[in-house]
Amino acid sequence: MIYLDNSATTRPFESVIEEMNRCMRESYYNVSAAYAPAMLAEKEITRVRNRFLRSVGLTGGRAVMTGGGSESDNLAIMGFAETLHAPGTFLVSPMEHPAVLETLNRVQRLGHTIRFLPVGPDGRVNVQEALNLVDQETVMILCMHVNNETGAIQPLRELFRGAKAINSRVVTLSDGVQGYLRVPMNMQDTGTDMYAVSAHKIHGPKGVGALAVRSELRLVPQVTGGGQEAGLRSGTLNSPGIRGFGKAIEECEEGNVPERLMGLKARLVKCLSGQEGIFFNGPDPLCAEKSAPHILSVRFEGVRGEVMRNALEAGNILVSTGSACGSHKQKVSSALRAMGLSTEQADGTIRVSIGLMNTPEEMEQAAESMIEQAKLLRQFRRR
């Protein structure tokens, strides 16, 4: 089987599984307890926290451990919105994951205004036009690091720094679930105040995530109780999950990840390029500054993405249409529509997402199958 849905989730590293096993067998203590073994266990968690903060360029900031990317987004957005005493404007890219967009619906119900940032045909926020929307009413700008459907790397530095130059009180949030450790991130340099990540996208465990927060920023906790995580997220810490996450960070940092993934993607792109009726959505897929190394959005003229996905699955190749990481329901892709694709073009798209366990041979096999299936399936197209 060729697994090419690594943006939905990744297979955990063996070292992650071993670390989690070890933690559950030998270091299962509640890290808030006062005896020595628990304190040792807590030290391990602190090590992960510091490693995470270093990896996003925020030494000195806070790392709140959460139950995943969705929870990190929720804490950042609702936690900030609930500190506000007067209505404000939230500017957001229309291509965000539902973890952001649905949470903003709740923010709107609190009396705040939501406005969408303009997007160019390459699926990246148009910074010049976006900055025209920033004014003294703007309280927050939200923009993902990498789009989960097209792989477009967003111009965070220009957007966030530009917005702060207009209104220094603006708070910035980036959903880094698809970018973290596959595209370099430095929160200080990009002017990012909060960055949300998820462990299961980097070959770590599911149900674990983190939110990096600049230390001066105040948030209202969304899970209240025993006051863990400096009062920001109550509940006994998921120590095996957090240690598994730490192991995944370590492996990725030592694993030359962006280059390895881009090498695989280049192979796939090369095989598909120039084939009749096959196109790539988003920025130039081989431009490392604009396109993430692990996501390729491929459009087939005259073939529905869903049909292509099923045909590939019959040949043991797993890809997805759109983001598909929430439920089984199929929606028209917000990202593809935001960049101006027609419904038919969006419908004809599949997402191929690569992970560290894929091989160059798999890229060639997958491309061959796509080309072959496209030719075959086009014969059945309705005229």
The residues that are catalytic are 325
Taking contact as CB under 6 A, which single stretch among the options 172-180, 242-250, 289-297, 370-378 is the one that binds ligand PLP? 172-180
Of 62, 97, 124, 182, the one binding ligand PLP (CB under 6 A) is: 97
Q: Does 144 bind ligand PLP (CB under 6 A)?
A: yes
Kindly give the pairing relationship between strand 138-142 and strand 349-353: unpaired
State the nearest-atom distance from the C-beta of 243 to ligand PLP, in Å: 17
CB of 343 to ligand PLP, least distance (A): 22
70 binds ligand PLP (CB under 6 A): yes
For ligand PLP, the closer of residues 92 and 303 by Cβ is 92
Q: Which is nearer to ligand PLP, 243 or 294 (CB)?
A: 294
Q: Using CB under 6 A, which of 63, 81, 92, 99 touches ligand PLP?
A: 99
Q: How far is the CB of 215 from ligand PLP (least distance, A)?
A: 24
What b/e string do you get for 31-46 counting C-beta neighbours within 10 Å, with b at 16 or more? beeeeeebeebbebbe
198 binds ligand PLP (CB under 6 A): yes
Which residue's Cβ has the minimum distance to ligand PLP? 69
Q: Which stretch binds ligand PLP (CB under 6 A): 26-34, 173-181, 277-285, 336-344?
A: 173-181
Using CB under 6 A as the binding rule, whether residue 149 contacts ligand PLP is answered as no
Among positions 10, 178, 190, 239, the unique one binding ligand PLP when judged by CB under 6 A: 178
Q: Does 209 bind ligand PLP (CB under 6 A)?
A: yes
Residue 249 beta carbon to ligand PLP: minimum distance, rounded to whole angstroms: 15
Q: Does 181 bind ligand PLP (CB under 6 A)?
A: no
Instruction: Report the relative pairing of strands 349-353 and 295-300 from DSSP bridges.
Output: antiparallel
Residue 244 near ligand PLP by CB under 6 A: no
- Selected from 81, 141, 292, 325, the binder of ligand PLP by CB under 6 A is 325
The residues, ordered by sequence, that sit 6+ positions from 370 with a Cβ below 8 Å of its Cβ are 272, 278, 298, 300, 308, 312
Cβ at position 270, least distance to ligand PLP in Å: 26
Rule CB under 6 A: choose which of 177, 202, 295, 350 binds ligand PLP: 177
- Binding ligand PLP (rule: CB under 6 A), the pick from 41, 52, 55, 68 is 68
Residues binding ligand PLP (CB under 6 A): 68-70, 97, 99, 144, 148, 175, 177-178, 198, 209, 325
